[in-house]
């Protein structure tokens, strides 16, 4: 990624907090290990500002406290590296529907940021600009999927899930769900978008890694979706695109 400000020589990022996972079209996804690790947690705590430390202290249980600390420290480390700024200059705010954006010295930066976590994994997606979204989920075999399928998926997606069995059904469920969640997060409209109101392109349903689509109510905006899941977790990213989109399918009522 390329930014206008040069890297400050005195600044050292903390690659022990993160590692690159995936890169595509100028966007990079980083993985953060959320497993207990006292030395990393101590290092991570040093990156947090006073407000973040106060927020951390309000968590009642160790796991969410650890997850917040490691995710936020990794995000700070990465942005300092990419923007060439000092940690003390960096702050965060959230947009109307909770999507975070960064400021350096109080000035919003064009860098696009999105974060998702599910213990023991956090994914951070960064891009020089534009709208992006990332989602990561553990493929739980304990969750009863039927109610979620009815609420989250459009008719043709439900039909595909109903035909699937066993591990294949779990894989398909989480592949579709992470793709939908990444797209919704990229759009930045929160719960105002009904996940059952749009369908993932058929190629992605069949197992292709990338696809382009539009939400039914904004057909002029194209989104590039990519399945970046692996054996450890399901994951997907979305980014605003200028490519031609598959024709969106409206939910039948």
Structure token pair of residue 85: 């700024």
Task: Give pLDDT tens digits for 31-82.
Answer: 999 999 999 999 999 999 999 999 999 999 999 999 999 999 999 999 999 9
What is the percent of the chain with per-residue pLDDT over 70, rounded to a whole number?
90
- CATH of 135-241 given 3.40.50.280, 3.30.300.280, 3.40.50.460, 3.90.470.20: 3.90.470.20
Which has the closest alpha carbon to 90: 133, 100, 98, 117?
100
Q: Which fold has domain 17-129?
A: Ribosomal Protein L22; Chain A (3.90.470)
Confidence of residue 7 (pLDDT cuts 50, 70, 90): very low
Task: Give pLDDT tens digits for 181-207.
Answer: 999 999 988 778 999 999 999 999 999
Query: Whole-prediction pTM value?
Result: 0.89
Task: Give pLDDT tens digits for 201-216.
Answer: 999 999 999 999 999 9
118 contact partners, CB below 8 Å, separation of at least 6 = 136, 137, 138, 233
Task: Give pLDDT tens digits for 224-243.
Answer: 999 999 999 999 999 998 55
Every domain of the chain and the residues it spans = 17-129, 135-241
Structure token pair of residue 217: 């109510």
Side by side, the strands of the sheet bearing 19-24 are 19-24, 27-33, 121-127, 112-118
Q: Are the beta carbons of 239 and 130 closer than 8 angstroms?
A: yes
- Please provide the distance, in angstroms rounded to a whole number, between the alpha carbons at the two ends of the chain: 44
């Amino acid at each position: 990624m390329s930014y206008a400000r040069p890297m400050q020589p005195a600044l050292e990022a903390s690659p022990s907090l993160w590692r690159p996972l995936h890169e595509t079209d100028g966007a990079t996804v980083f993985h953060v290990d959320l497993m207990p690790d006292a030395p990393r947690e101590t290092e991570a705590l040093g990156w947090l500002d006073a407000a973040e430390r106060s927020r951390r202290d309000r968590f009642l249980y160790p796991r969410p406290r650890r997850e917040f600390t490691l995710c936020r420290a990794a995000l700070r480390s990465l942005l300092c590296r990419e923007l060439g700024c000092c940690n003390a200059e960096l702050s965060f705010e959230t947009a109307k529907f909770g999507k975070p954006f960064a400021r350096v010295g109080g000035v919003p930066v064009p860098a696009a940021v999105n974060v998702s976590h599910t213990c023991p994994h956090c994914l951070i997606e960064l891009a020089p600009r534009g709208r992006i979204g990332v989602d990561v989920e553990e493929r739980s075999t304990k969750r009863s999927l039927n109610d979620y399928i009815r609420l989250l998926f459009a008719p043709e997606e439900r039909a595909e899930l109903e035909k699937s069995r066993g591990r294949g059904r779990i894989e398909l469920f989480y592949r579709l769900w992470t793709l939908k969640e990444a797209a919704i997060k990229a759009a930045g409209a929160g719960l105002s978008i009904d996940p059952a109101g749009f369908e993932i392109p058929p190629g992605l349903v069949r197992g292709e890694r990338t696809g382009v689509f539009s939400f039914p109510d904004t057909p002029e905006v194209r989104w590039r979706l990519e399945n970046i899941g692996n054996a450890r977790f399901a994951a997907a990213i979305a980014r605003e695109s200028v490519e031609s989109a598959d024709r969106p399918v409206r939910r039948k009522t």
